[in-house]
Each structure stands twice: as C-alpha cells, then as structure tokens.
Structure 1
C-alpha cells in the first residue's frame, strides 16, 4: 500500500489550489511585484515564497514548529517581526522616486537575489504558516500507510510546488495589465505610493488579526 492515499492526495491538490488563489499576503505580494517591476520580478517573488514554504514544511516535519505552540510569546514575537518587515517594505516603497518602468535591456532594478530574499523573508516571518502546516497537513495523511514523516514532507513539498505554479499563473494573468499601463505616466507617478499603500494595508490587516 502506498504511504499516501491517492483519493486524499487529489483532494489535497484541489484544496491547495483554492488556498493559493485565496487573497493573502503571499499572492498579493507576488501580484504587486509583477505590476510594479514586471513578470520576472513576480516569478522570482513567487520562487522566494515557495522556498520559504519548503523551509516551513521541513520545520513542521522535524517537529520544530511545535515550538510556536508551546511558546505563545515566541509566536507573537516572530509575528510582530514579520509585520515590522512589511512596514519597512511599505516605507521603502513610499520613499522610492516616481519613475516609469525602464524597457531597455540594461534597465536597472532590484536584483533577482534581493527579490527572492525579500519574498522568502516575508513568508518565513509568518508563524501562522508554521501552525497552519501542523494543523492542515495531517488531515491528508494515510495512517495505514505508515511513514508519517515522509507523508508530511511529501504533502508539504507538494504544497510549495503547487503554490509556485499558482503564483506563476497569477503573474501571467496580470502581465497584460502591466503592459497596458506602460506609457501611462499618470499611473507610474503614483505606482510606488500604490505599492506602499498595499504593503501598509497588509501590515495593518495582520496587526488586527494578531489582537
């Protein structure tokens, strides 16, 4: 008997697809990156978040995420650190000079490594993800199949890969909108402020949920 139940696994795939599409910090950040800095930036942001999801999964499989359940103080500390990081990103967006997107091959912009790091850090500093994996993944394990750690890791890795695929679809979906906006100077004069407002709204939303 395979460790994972095929029927449960198909249900899991459908659930992950819906969860990845549901509005949240991760996919809103990917869409914002795509609109402000282009398709490649959006894809790299999605990759950074997928890497962070894989690390969360590894921690959950090894039992490290149980620390957050045992220590509410640590959970809140990491959560508020994540909110502070979002506020920092919002401040940086508000402070950025207004400019239209550069279309030349030598156009300057944030490096791919920086985009990946920022996205990964944003997801890593969300302890709700660690708690979510502890609560969500076991629902789709097959006790009769044994190898529980393997099942949890396989499900978690599937979650990260499928989320990355959904992020890529979102990037491709919003790319035509960015192409339409290129050349409309009025939008790009406000683009950095709009990005900052979105990031600030996400931070305030998470702050309200923390209470």
Structure 2
C-alpha cells in the first residue's frame, strides 16, 4: 500500500504536471471553449480515464522487470530518466504562447466526445513512455508489491487528472480569456514543469 507522505508527494507533482499546458489539457480547453462546458467535461474525463490503460502497462511491465531482470530494470530507469530530462529541456526551451486550435468539429454527442478523449490518450505512445518513466519514481520497493503500488499511483494520477480536466472543461471560457490576456503565463508554467521533469529524470538516473 501507499504511505500518506508517498501519496501526497506524488499527488503534488502529478497536479503540477497535469496543470501544465500540454496536448491533453489544451484539447480540453479548446473543446470547452468551442463546444461548451458539458462537451469540455466529457472530453476531459475521457482523456483522464485513458490513463488507466497506461497504468496497467506500467504495473505489469515494471513489476515483471523488477522480479525477473535487475539489469533490464536499470536500463528502463536510464531510458526513462533521459526521456524525462529531454521533456524538461523541451519545456525550458519553450517560448510559451501556446495556441488553441479553434477549428471545431461538427456537433457530437457527449458519449462520442468522451470516447474520443479516451482513445486519444490511450493510443498515445508518448503517454505510455511517460507513465513507465514517471510512476516508478514514487515506488518504494521495501514496502513490497511493486505492481500494486504502481496501480494505486496510476489510479491516483487518473483521479486528479479527471478532476482537473473536468474543471478545465467547465471553466474553459474564463481560462481561455485569462491565458489570452497573459501570454507569459504559459511561459512560466513551462519553465516550472521543465525544472520538475529534469529533476525527476536526474533522480531516476542516479537512484540506486
């Protein structure tokens, strides 16, 4: 099981990462602004629940590596750590000024928008690699059952993403206007996220 401090530290970083401008939350924002609150919420919940498929892959794959091949697990840590550092550098180099796609699609049902968000997240290979890199950072092997810890962390990530994406869809109009009036806000959010990614990546590489 997860300890309270383990859960809180993970949740803090997960919320920061989820709130940072990226493909998923910008799609939710654009959907809410162009379609309406209910549509934005439906799409956002689909994106959030798509994380469950990545949680399963992480729990099965990483736990198998821990049990069967310490060398492969070490390689995964290095690859994952370098990937997180690369993401951080990309965010630090970003100019901010994120653009929302205003090209809206034709009217869709809430169920259809939910399914679209679910599939868009579930089939994204970058999200798979991110989960394989990010979740193990907060696993404590001495607590036992690595697979269960990964699963619980993935559920916690999914839950906070569902809340944030639903709120983003609901307040899309106001948030979109705020970002438009303050283009440098996205720049500073990128800088913060970049430092978090680099720090996590270096921690993963140097961890024994």
The two structures have a TM-score, normalised by structure 2, of 0.61
Matching residue within 110, 113, 138 for 2:111:
113
Spell out structure 1 runs of 4+ moving beyond 3 A: 175-178
Q: Distance in 2 between matches of 1:112 and 1:168?
A: 13
CA contact (8 A) 1:5 1:141 kept: no
Shift of 1:156: 0.4
Partner of 1:184: none
Partner of 2:148: 150
Shift of 1:117: 1.6
Matching residue within 7, 10, 14 for 1:12:
10
Shift of 1:169: 2.1
Partner of 1:187: none
Shift of 1:153: 0.3
Deviates more, 1:38-47 or 1:168-177: 168-177
Partner of 1:42: 40
Q: Distance in 2 between matches of 1:56 and 1:133?
A: 6
Call closer, same or farther: CA 1:142–1:177 in 2, change over 3 Å.
Answer: closer
Shift of 1:123: 1.0
Structure 1 runs not aligned, ≥5 long: 70-89, 98-108, 179-211
Q: Distance in 2 between matches of 1:122 and 1:172?
A: 20
CA contact (8 A) 2:48 2:161 kept: yes
Shift of 1:53: 0.6
> 1:140-179 deviations in whole A, cap 9, x for unaligned?
112221011110000001101101111122223324578x
Shift of 1:131: 1.0
Q: Does 1:140 align with 2:138?
A: yes
CA contact (8 A) 1:5 1:142 kept: no
Matching residue within 47, 56, 59 for 1:58:
56
Q: Distance in 2 between matches of 1:110 and 1:127?
A: 26
Q: Indicate the RMSD between aligned Cα atoms, in angstroms.
A: 2.5
Q: Does 1:164 align with 2:162?
A: yes
CA contact (8 A) 2:38 2:170 kept: no
Q: Distance in 2 between matches of 1:147 and 1:14?
A: 23
SS at match of 1:164: helix
CA contact (8 A) 1:56 1:129 kept: yes
Partner of 1:124: 122
Structure 2 runs not aligned, ≥5 long: 66-75, 77-100, 177-208
Call closer, same or farther: CA 1:171–1:59 in 2, change over 3 Å.
Answer: same
SS at match of 1:63: helix
